[in-house]
A = this chain, B = another copy of it.
Amino acid sequence: MFKIVVSDARVFKHAIDSIVNLIDEGQLEIGKDGIGLKAMDASQIAMVCFFMPKDAFLEYDVPSTARVGVNFESLSKILGRTRGGEQLEISQDENKLSLSFMAEKKKRNFKLPMIDMPAGMQREPKIEHDAVVKMQGGNFKETLKDAVLVSSHIAFEAKEEGFYADVKGDGTDLKLEFEKGAGEISEISVKAPSRATFPLQYLEDIVKASPDLGEIVVHLKSNAPLKIEYSVEGAKVSYYLAPRIDSD
């Protein structure tokens, strides 16, 4: 039986929110090196790969790998109930996940039912992307907000000269141009020009948990799934998102 202690439940909540924004239920793999999850969203269009290493925790006592199926929305709401100066103790109590907020002479213990899930993690796809663009989380989110005004999809394009986005709406259009060297873009590296179109709702869910001042890494390949990576509170998260095949 494992016992994990988080020094600040808020931090753990931020990390878990990178999962909850995309999937409702999933199986955490609590292993020797840390807590992981790989799961497709319900529509099978997007995938999240999450890993929080054991040194992100105050205590991490996991004698053998445990698989814990949880409702992430419930988990996130419970984690959100933390107050200042509390540690969070996570353990298993029969078929429930036990979450105890501990302070001096005071304990609040939530018991969350574990969900039976089919065994085995999803496998991460292997894609050789042709372009990598690094930018601040906040800037990427603002770009998505621009696009949402106009349409439900956005086309990203990476070239030697810069990073571009195209949004074709019903009447209104939007074109974004970030030249190499623009403040928004910290790095562009392009092996081959790449262009693909993605659903905005998924992109918004994917980057919602990214820190505004943290870095987002976007991997592009023409008409192939996008990969987006970022770190949140010591956890590493990667997402894959299927492109819409443009007919034009």
Q: Which residues of A contact B (CB under 8 A)?
A: 74, 77-78, 81, 83, 96, 103-113, 142, 145-146, 149-150, 162, 171-184
Cα distance A181–B77 in the bound complex, in angstroms:
28
In the complex, the answer to whether B107 meets A177 with C-beta atoms within 8 Å is yes
Cα distance A247–B239 in the bound complex, in angstroms:
49
Question: With A77-B149, A78-B149, A149-B78 in contact, do A106 and B183 touch (Cβ < 8 Å)?
Answer: yes
In the complex, the answer to whether B172 meets A106 with C-beta atoms within 8 Å is no
In the complex, the answer to whether B172 meets A113 with C-beta atoms within 8 Å is yes
Additional 4 contacts, C-beta under 8 A, given A74-B172, A83-B142, A105-B162: A107-B176, A109-B175, A110-B174, A113-B172
In the complex, the answer to whether B110 meets A177 with C-beta atoms within 8 Å is no
Chain B minimum-CB-distance residue to A146? B81
In the complex, the answer to whether A108 meets B74 with C-beta atoms within 8 Å is no
Residues of B close to A145: CB separation below 8 A: 81
Which of A110, A175, A176 is packed against the most chain B CB atoms within 10 Å? Answer: A110
Cα distance A108–B176 in the bound complex, in angstroms:
4
Residues of B close to A77: CB separation below 8 A: 149
Closest 10 CB pairs of A and B: A105-B182, A105-B179, A113-B171, A111-B173, A106-B182, A107-B177, A109-B175, A108-B176, A81-B146, A110-B174
Chain B minimum-CB-distance residue to A168? B111
- Chain B proximity of A8: nearest CB distance (Å): 17
Chain B minimum-CB-distance residue to A78? B149
Cα distance A171–B179 in the bound complex, in angstroms:
53
Residues of B close to A176: CB separation below 8 A: 107-109
Cα distance A105–B183 in the bound complex, in angstroms:
8
Residues of B close to A177: CB separation below 8 A: 106-109
Name 27 A/B residue pairs within 8 A (Cβ), A-sorted.
A77-B149, A78-B149, A81-B145, A81-B149, A96-B173, A103-B182, A103-B183, A104-B183, A105-B162, A105-B178, A105-B181, A105-B183, A106-B177, A106-B179, A106-B183, A107-B175, A107-B176, A107-B177, A108-B146, A108-B174, A108-B175, A109-B175, A109-B176, A110-B174, A111-B173, A111-B174, A111-B175
Cα distance A110–B105 in the bound complex, in angstroms:
51
Residues of B close to A178: CB separation below 8 A: 105-106
Residues of B close to A183: CB separation below 8 A: 103-106
Residues of B close to A111: CB separation below 8 A: 172-175
